[in-house]
Amino acid sequence: MLYYASAIIFWITMASMQAWIMRYRLRSAGWLWIVVNTVGLIVGGFGAAGVTWLLISVFNFDVLQNSGDAIAVLIIAAIIFTIIVSLFQWSVLRRRVPAPALWAVVNVVLGSITYFLLLSLNSDLVWNSVWISILVSMLAGIIIGGLTGKVIDLFCNRRISD
């Protein structure tokens, strides 16, 4: 349960920071950006979980005994998650930035990589406190959201001036 709460806190914090940095480009869609990201996270998570269940139960992928099957299932679930969340983000960005699909995919991939790095740190005994996990998720969301928001804002300004 802590992992789900940590993921939602990380994602909302990241989206909020991006909305704040991109407030001029998103105009009045800042709150929409946060809501769409949260809904996209939930739908993408359920979509990835559904595909994972399908691969394990119907196609008999043995993720506990075969590391090749485990890697294949993780890659397929990550691709499904990225596609779903990117489509949600693209729906907000399509008329506001020059390359909305690129921004959405890069944003989701960087956010996912960061979150999984946080999970690997969280498996250590030092990080197993609830409040530390939540604090680390919030700080990582602020940092990653700030960095990706600023980089994309600079990219959009460069693309407009070219």
Backbone dihedral region for residue 125 (phi beyond 0: left; psi -120 to 50: alpha; all else: beta): alpha
What is the chain's pLDDT, residue by residue, as a tens digit (162 residues)? Answer: 677 788 888 888 998 898 888 777 667 677 888 899 999 999 999 999 999 999 999 989 998 999 999 899 989 999 999 999 999 999 988 887 778 888 888 888 888 888 888 777 766 545 567 777 788 888 989 998 898 888 877 776 665 454
Q: Which domain holds residue 41?
A: 2-161
| pLDDT score recorded for residue 49 | 94
Residue 95: exposure state from Cβ atoms within 10 A (0-12, 13-18, ≥19): exposed
Tally the domains of the chain. Answer: 1
Alpha carbon 10 to its chain's center: 9
Alpha carbon 53 to its chain's center: 21
Q: Which residues contact 87 (CB under 8 A, 6 or more apart)?
A: 40, 104
| pLDDT score recorded for residue 123 | 63
Task: Give CA torsion, residues 114, 138, 107, 12, to 10 deg.
Answer: 140
Cα distance between residue 62 and residue 43, in whole Å = 25
Cα distance between residue 51 and residue 110, in whole Å = 22
| pLDDT score recorded for residue 149 | 82
Alpha helices (runs of H) in the chain, residue ranges in sequence order = 2-21, 23-26, 30-57, 67-93, 100-122, 130-161
End-to-end CA distance of the chain: 47
